[in-house]
Amino acid sequence: MTIIKICGIKTLKDALAAIDAGADYLGFNFYPKSVRFIEKETCAEITSVLKREHPQIKLVGVFVNSTVDEMKNILETCLLDLVQLHGDETPEAFAQLAPRAFKAFRGIPSDITGYERNDVPAFLVDAAVKGVYGGSGVMADWSAAVELAKKYPLLLAGGLTPENVADAVRQVKPWGVDVASGVESNPGEKDAAKMSSFVKAVREVENRK
């Protein structure tokens, strides 16, 4: 089954709507320059409810060039399961957060040395957009991602929408798909109908196999 991660959750209402739609993973963005940025305290209020009512859902913190201490603090305060390193983090920072961290690459990585992970997802592939750390709505290079998906359980991000995610799953066959802007009515505001359509599109591909 393809794992579905809905990223950039800012409210409990959106979190619950994403879970109702069928999301497996929820992402919370701690990059202050993002329209999807969430304060630690707000996130902790949301995740305390989710951990109690929906313990099966994996919660992911998305960080861009934060310090290891800051990430560890948020990880504990917000009861997060995983850390997504979406900036220019070093293998040293990655190692200090192991085994709960996975690296997001903007563009197709030619080498993942120093960022290897023995758990899922191995890493995330996003579109390469200059100066933008995710959430750009630009599609990743699917043809190149196909080869990586054969070797690793990768999470495919970058410009996915309810309209194109079925094609992405068919072509790339990723371990999981990650969506933020593609299921929003406004930047940072999730759309329940779009989230449902997104999940439905993924599941329909699987049912046809």
Q: Tell me the per-residue pLDDT of 82-127, one tens digit each, with 9 for 90 and over.
A: 999 999 999 999 999 999 999 999 888 988 999 999 999 999 998 7
Q: What is the pLDDT of residue 124?
A: 95
Copy the structure tokens of residue 194: 């779009």
Domain that holds residue 51: 3-208
Asked whether the CA dihedral 126, 117, 177, 202 is positive or negative, the reply is positive
d(CA 175, CA 124): 10
Q: What is the DSSP string of 144-198?
A: HHHHHHHHS-EEE-SS--TTTHHHHHHHH--SEEEESGGGEEETTEE-HHHHHHH
Residue 133 sits at φ, ψ, to 5 deg, of -105, 75
pLDDT truncated to tens, each residue of the chain (209 aa)?
A: 999 999 999 999 999 999 999 999 999 999 999 999 999 999 999 999 999 999 999 999 999 999 999 999 999 999 999 999 999 999 999 999 999 999 999 888 988 999 999 999 999 998 765 555 555 566 778 888 999 999 999 999 999 999 999 999 999 999 999 999 999 999 999 999 999 999 999 999 988 86
Q: What is the pLDDT of residues 152-164, one digit of tens each?
A: 999 999 999 999 9
Q: Which of 31, 21, 63 is nearest to 188 (CA)?
A: 31
Q: Residue 120: how many CB atoms within 10 A of its CB? A: 15
Q: For 76, what's the count of Cα atoms within 13 Å in the CB-facing half-sphere? A: 6
CATH number at residue 190: 3.20.20.70
Q: What domain count does the chain have?
A: 1
